[in-house]
Amino acid sequence: MQYRYLGNSGFKVSELVYGNWLTHVSQVTNDAAIATVHAALDGGITSFDTADVYANQAAETVLGEALKGQRREGLEIFTKCYWPVAERGANDTGLSRKHIMESINGSLKRMNLDYFDLYQAHRFDYETPLEETMRAFADIVRQGKALYIGVSEWNASQIRAGHALATEMGFQLISSQPQYSMLWRVIEAEVVPASQELGVSQIVWSPMAQGVLTGKYLPGQPAPADSRAANEKVGGSIQEFLKDDLLTAVQNLKPVADELGLTMAQLALAWTLQNPNVSAAIVGASRPEQISSNLGAVGVKIPAEVMTRIDGILDGFAKFDPALMVSPATRLC
């Protein structure tokens, strides 16, 4: 495993972060989830990402169980708050001081932890003053409940405003967690330049476009029975990538991967890690062998001419518009 600094800090994370967004509880049994976490640990992954909303709190519980007995100081554990979980009362959503404080206390209890290494705002909250949100995060850091603060799916102007307040309040905003892959490049025009200027780096989710960039979805054919797209519980958000012309273009990446001695999944992960503002890519898995294979992306350097070829293959299919990065306009949506 290789490590990279997260933002302008002394905090390092593994280049691959194990995440349990759509797998734990929703897609696999708890025993299978624990087995994949142990495969990640065996492969040198020490950074783990979850959120209270994943599987309606249960994903945090499973991850905490899977990590039990590990040396806490040797792990980097991240979670997030914003969305409602369990209850949907007036104060059960967003980034108010009340919801943030109750959310982190609940997450710590579920995972049986004293602190999180990184606590993240899962979306931007347009209904709560940003000063209130950032002051709550400042207090969480001072209380020792989180060591660092990050955001997820905030646009460039929101990151700038949050970073300025964090600096004023004496703590660090060090990370952004956006969707990013060969097919979803909306952070490149604005978020990445702003983040580089401010000393913020990216922990990217869906680097394989929810599995589409592995090549397992074939044009004109039904989704494999054991795949995410075939699972009614978790398959809805993948549909935008399942158009036949896009899937045909993705198949044209296979010769590129073969030339580099990589699987298509490894190529997709390695591609995201070529971006100097990306500190880590989040990977999920339903089977331990998937994690073991993903580790082959660590340390790979893709030649510039190959990166250009990839751009050509996916021309017309990749999304670049920064406006596609949107947080909910209202909390209860």
The pTM (predicted TM-score) of the whole model is 0.91
Q: Which residue is it, tokens 């592995």? A: 214
- At 220 the pLDDT is 83
> What does the pLDDT average to over 175-200?
97
Q: pLDDT band at residue 233, thresholds of 50, 70 and 90?
A: low
The widest CA-to-CA distance across the chain, in whole angstroms, is 55
Q: How far is it, in rounded angstroms, from Cα 275 to Cα 262? A: 18
Q: pLDDT band at residue 147, thresholds of 50, 70 and 90?
A: very high
Concatenate the DSSP letters of all residues of 43-77 into one string: TT--EEE--TTGGGGHHHHHHHHHHTTS-GGG-EE
- Bridge partners for 151 per DSSP: 121, 176
Phi, psi of 266 (to 5 degrees): -65, -40
Cα within 13 Å of Cα(163), Cβ side? 21
With a cut of 90, say whether residue 58 has pLDDT above it.
no
- At 320 the pLDDT is 96
Q: What is the set of active-site residues?
A: 54
User: Which range, of 23-27, 275-279, 284-288, averages the lowest pLDDT?
Assistant: 23-27
With a cut of 60, say whether residue 99 has pLDDT above it.
yes
Q: pLDDT band at residue 227, thresholds of 50, 70 and 90?
A: low
With a cut of 60, say whether residue 6 has pLDDT above it.
yes
- Fold topology of 3-324: TIM Barrel (3.20.20)
Buried b (16+ CB within 10 A) or exposed e, 229-265: bebeebbeebeebeeeebbebbeebeebbeebebbbb
Q: Where are the domains of the chain?
A: 3-324
* Inter-residue contact 321 to 186 (CB < 8 Å): yes
> What does the pLDDT average to over 181-190?
97
Q: How far is it, in rounded angstroms, from Cα 201 to Cα 199? A: 7
